[in-house]
């Protein structure tokens, strides 16, 4: 099984980021579902059962917080049941994002919205318990409105305001266009496309200077990055709207892999080092509601 050619490592300086000192990120694990490695990455074994993570990331920022993806919601059983048979998988749900936020005393008034990497069921199920705006770009809205794989999204997004952002920023780390959410470089969204029309990579820099790339489903597991392998042929056909564009995005993030933590959404070990939500979440001072981004 031949890996993709090794792209040249990113050699230029990383873009400037000045996250405010009280910015922080947390991971909220909401469950897993089982996929055989044979279906996840080229060359994977049929006996190697992978537990795909459904994890959300809370970004706390003085200008208002964002949740990256929504994990499994309280209606996950119905969401799974509504999927075509061949994608239904045994799953295990723990606590939803909504339950976890309540348990740590989180003030939901701080949450500007859920920024989705893309609108597939396993990233949006938890919107059923989060009545906040959904942050999407126009390409993803169009995909979500029509594609059969947008079915769960159409169900859980009913009644939600859609906050549509645009890629008004310059090329970013090899991606052609970007959107700097807070204007300080701490959270920058880049259009990747290919998995869905408007699927994105979300670059997050925390005050320590540590950088992360939340790459959604450009690859499902860290093998995709470390061994430079795509999804198996059939799954590329089934899961990606433009497999060639996915390959391009994957090579772009592989080129960044020694400069930052690359986080494929479903790779459990990719989240190592990102703190869990604490039992009590310390409030972050808000700069004032007139300064909200977006």
Report the residue number, 24 or 250, with the smaller CB distance to Zn ion. 250
CB of 99 vs Zn ion, minimal distance in Å = 21
Chain centroid to Cα 288, Å, comes to 27
Residue 55, classified by CB atoms within 10 Å of its CB into exposed (0-12), middle (13-18) or buried (19+), is buried
β-sheet with 111-115: strand ranges across: 91-93, 24-36, 49-60, 65-68, 111-115, 134-136, 162-164
CB of 268 vs Zn ion, minimal distance in Å = 13
Report the residue number, 66 or 124, with the smaller CB distance to Zn ion. 124
In angstroms, the CA 169 to CA 184 distance is 12
CB of 185 vs Zn ion, minimal distance in Å = 27
**166 and 83 in contact (C-beta within 8 Å)?**
no
Report the residue number, 123 or 141, with the smaller CB distance to Zn ion. 123
CB of 57 vs Zn ion, minimal distance in Å = 14
Partnered with residue 284 across adjacent β-strands are: none
Lookup: tokens for 91: 């799953």
Report the residue number, 122 or 140, with the smaller CB distance to Zn ion. 122
In angstroms, the CA 114 to CA 106 distance is 15
In angstroms, the CA 97 to CA 247 distance is 31
Angle at CA of residue 211, ends 69 and 3, nearest 5°: 80
Ramachandran angles phi, psi of 236, nearest 5°: -60, -45
Report the residue number, 58 or 152, with the smaller CB distance to Zn ion. 152
Report the residue number, 218 or 284, with the smaller CB distance to Zn ion. 218
CB of 40 vs Zn ion, minimal distance in Å = 11
Partnered with residue 93 across adjacent β-strands are: 31
Lookup: tokens for 127: 């919107």
CB of 69 vs Zn ion, minimal distance in Å = 9
Residue 25, classified by CB atoms within 10 Å of its CB into exposed (0-12), middle (13-18) or buried (19+), is buried
Report the residue number, 122 or 240, with the smaller CB distance to Zn ion. 122
Residue numbers at the binding site for Zn ion (CB under 5 A) = 120, 122, 217
In angstroms, the CA 231 to CA 244 distance is 12
CB of 13 vs Zn ion, minimal distance in Å = 32
């Amino acid at each position: 099984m031949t890996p993709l050619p090794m792209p040249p490592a990113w050699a230029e300086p990383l873009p400037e980021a000045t996250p405010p000192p009280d910015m922080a990120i947390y991971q909220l694990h909401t469950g897993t579902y089982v996929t055989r490695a044979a279906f996840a990455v080229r060359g994977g074994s049929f006996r190697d059962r992978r537990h795909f993570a459904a994890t959300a990331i809370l970004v706390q920022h003085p200008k208002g917080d964002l949740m990256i993806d929504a994990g499994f919601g309280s209606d996950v059983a119905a969401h799974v049941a509504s999927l075509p048979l061949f994608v239904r998988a045994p799953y295990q749900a723990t606590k939803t994002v909504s339950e976890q936020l309540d348990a740590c005393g989180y003030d939901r008034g701080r949450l500007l919205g859920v920024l989705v990497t893309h609108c597939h069921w396993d990233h949006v199920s938890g919107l059923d318990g989060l009545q906040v705006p959904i942050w999407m770009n126009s390409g993803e809205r169009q995909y979500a409105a029509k594609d059969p794989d947008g079915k769960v999204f159409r169900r859980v997004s009913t009644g939600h305001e859609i906050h549509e952002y645009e890629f008004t920023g310059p090329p970013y780390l090899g991606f052609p266009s970007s959107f700097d959410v807070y204007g300080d470089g701490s959270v920058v969204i880049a259009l990747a496309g290919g998995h869905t029309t408007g699927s994105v990579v979300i670059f997050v820099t925390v005050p320590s200077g540590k950088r992360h790339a939340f790459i959604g489903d450009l690859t499902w597991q860290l093998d995709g990055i470390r061994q430079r392998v795509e999804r198996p042929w059939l799954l590329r056909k089934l899961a990606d709207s433009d497999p060639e564009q996915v390959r391009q995005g994957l090579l772009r993030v592989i080129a960044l892999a020694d400069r930052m933590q690359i986080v494929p959404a479903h790779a459990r070990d990719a989240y190592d080092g990102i703190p869990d939500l604490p039992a009590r979440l310390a409030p972050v001072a808000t700069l004032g509601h007139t300064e909200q981004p977006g």
